[in-house]
Amino acid sequence: MRDNLLKTMIGQHVVLKNDLGVILDMFEKKGKYDAKIILSQLKIFKRDLKTHLQLENKVFYVQLIEKMEKKKMNTERTKNFIGQMDEIENEIKSFIKQYSDIAKIENAKAQFKKDINNMVSRLLLRVELEEDSVYMYWEFLLS
C-alpha cells in the first residue's frame, strides 16, 4: 500500500493537472478566453507547484537517495532524474514570467496557447514518469 508521502504527492499531481485544466478548457470553448482568469489560474498553479516541489525536493528525493545509499545502490540515474525536473521547473518559471500580466496574455493568444500546450505536455510526461517509475521504486525500497 502506498504510504502517506506518495498519496500526498499524487494528490498534488492531481491538483496541478486541475489547475492547468481550467486554462486548457478555455481554449476548447470558443469565446471563453479570459486573460484575467488565465492569469489568476497561473498564479494558483505557481503556488501549487511550489508546494509540490518543496515536498518532492526537500523530503521525498532526499529520503529516496538516503534509502538507496543505505542499500549501496547507484544513485546517479536518480540524481539525473532530479536534475531534469530542475530544468522543467526553470522552463515553467520562465513561462509564468513571460505571461505575468493580463496584457502579455491577451496580446499573445496564439503563442500562449502553443506555449501552454507544450508546458502541459512536458509536465504530464514528467508526472507519468514519476508515478510509474520513481514512486514505484520508493515502494520497492520500503519493502
Burial class (CB in 10 A: 0-12, 13-18, 19+), 74: exposed
* Phi–psi pair at 41, nearest 5 degrees: -70, -35
Cβ neighbors of 124 (< 8 A, separation 6 or more) are: 17
- List, for the chain, all residue ranges whose pLDDT scores fall below the cut of 50: 1-2
**Residues with Cβ within 8 Å of residue 13, at least 6 apart in sequence:** 52, 127, 130, 131
The pLDDT tens digits of the residues spanning 73-82 come to 899 999 999 9
Express each pLDDT in 85-101 by its tens digit.
999 999 999 999 999 99
pLDDT value of residue 1:
38
| Whether the predicted model's global pTM rises above the 0.85 cut | yes
Rounded distance between C-alpha atoms, residue 55 and residue 32, angstroms: 34
